Amino acid sequence: MRLNNNAMGVALVGAIASLPRVAAWGVAGHEIVATIAQIHLHPSTVEQLCAILPPYANCHLAPVAAWADKVRFHMPWSGPLHYVGGVGDHPSDHCDFGDDGWQGTPGHNVLGAVRNTTMWLEKGYEGAEEALKFLVHFIGDLHQPLHLTGRDRGGNSVKVRFDRRITNLHSVWDSRLIAKSLRTIPQNYTYPLPSRQIESALRGTIYDPYVRQIMYEGVLGRFRDAIDEWTVCPLPELSTRPYPLTEKLEQLPVRGGFFDAVRSSLSSWMRPRKPVEEAPPTDDEIICPHAWAAPMHQLNCDIIWPAELDDPNYQAQIATQGYLELDTPKYAGRIKDEWLVEELLAMGGIRLAATLNYLFAREETAVSPLYKLY
């Protein structure tokens, strides 16, 4: 049974109106995040998701990843759930992620949306399909840093140029950086990788080669040593409590492959976590959207929001030189060299998979947040 729109609005955030905003990552970006998550889902999680997803999804997350953007105009209460803005936040000169509170109605933002949709699914309430589709999308939104600042509507109101075309800063990050990457993927990634786990998550899309590249060069390469930290949440107070399902490990037979990988990764989940004085209301030791988002928000000051836009002479320069060009070695080139977009997409996918595995994998098998292939 699908959740009534009004009930979903009240239960998750309350029915409130919003102005339209451009979608985070665009359709391709959201589907890439969902595809990377699909690769890391435990088989028992996939089995559970098949019973929730609509038939057209064919047991895949990607076909529903952009649904929340498609419905926001007739579900206006959902608009503010796609982003969050700290009071006083003003990149590039000052990044403040909620130290002085949040703009808008308390809890009606992407941090609260991730928390509440997760709770909805964990409690098994009616309307799981809509809650799941929202969660897949909101975790994608959480990993687009311009959805973590309220300045100038997340950059939607800031005109720039990219590839000599007038656009806005938000759109550069929604789609134009990804589109440029799609045009420069090495040809060898147009062919299947020798991994059934990766290839079974692909669906013959234009971005399949990009997913292969992110997986092979990123997840299995430069990001590999950081992945365990991506899914760790700081705990309130001094606690050494492990991941809730790890205590069942010794009761399980060793079957090789997945279980060997689990055993080798358990140390990162069993170690004491970094204590914090008080966790934000959205965070706990398993799901912590605030803790995950805070370092990404800082990227707005470090690289994403060009300081040139705040130059006192910039408005005068527009008349003679045009809007700031971002398809340059200094801006787009640095982002490409640092693999920043690919890291954010991979991080979003892996955190989405860890969340879904926590929610849906059978306890007798789900002893790790990820079904690993590395």
Distance, CA of 210 to chain centre: 17
Strands (E), 77-117: none
Q: Where are the beta strands (DSSP E) in the chain?
A: 159-162, 165-168, 235-236, 275-276
Phi, psi of 206 (to 5 degrees): -65, -25
Q: In the Cβ-directed half-sphere of 312, how many Cα atoms lie within 13 Å?
A: 0
Q: Is 297 a catalytic residue?
A: no
On average, the pLDDT of the chain sits at 83
Give the tokens for residue 93: 């000169």
Compute the distance between CA of residue 114 and CA of residue 131 in angstroms, rounded to an integer. Answer: 10
Q: Is 30 an active-site residue?
A: yes
What integer pLDDT is reported at residue 372 of this predicted model?
55
Residue 35, SS3?
Answer: helix
From the candidates 89, 141, 208, 283, give the one annotated as an active-site residue: 141
- 163-180, pLDDT tens digit by residue? 989 999 999 999 999 999
Region label for 299, one of left (φ > 0), alpha (ψ between -120 and 50) or beta (otherwise): alpha
State yes or no: is 141 an active-site residue. yes
DSSP sequence for 131-154: HHHHHHHHHHHHTSGGGG--THHH
C-beta separation of 87 from 284 below 8 A = no
Instruction: For 114-126, give the DSSP string.
Output: HHHHHHHHHHT-S
Q: Is 94 a catalytic residue?
A: no
143 catalytic per annotation? no
Catalytic option among 40, 42, 82, 176:
82
Instruction: Assess whether 77 carries a catalytic annotation.
Output: no
Q: Is 69 a catalytic residue?
A: yes
| Cis before 92? omega within 30 | yes
Domains of the chain by start residue, with CATH: 5-157+187-235+273-360 (1.10.575.10)
Q: Per-residue pLDDT tens for 76-121?
A: 999 999 999 999 999 999 999 999 999 999 999 999 999 999 999 9
Tens of pLDDT, residue by residue over 33-59, are 999 999 999 999 999 999 999 999 999
- Active-site annotation holds for 40: no
Q: What is the pLDDT of residue 363?
A: 64
The pLDDT tens digits for 292-346 are 999 999 999 999 999 999 999 998 899 899 999 999 999 999 999 999 999 999 9
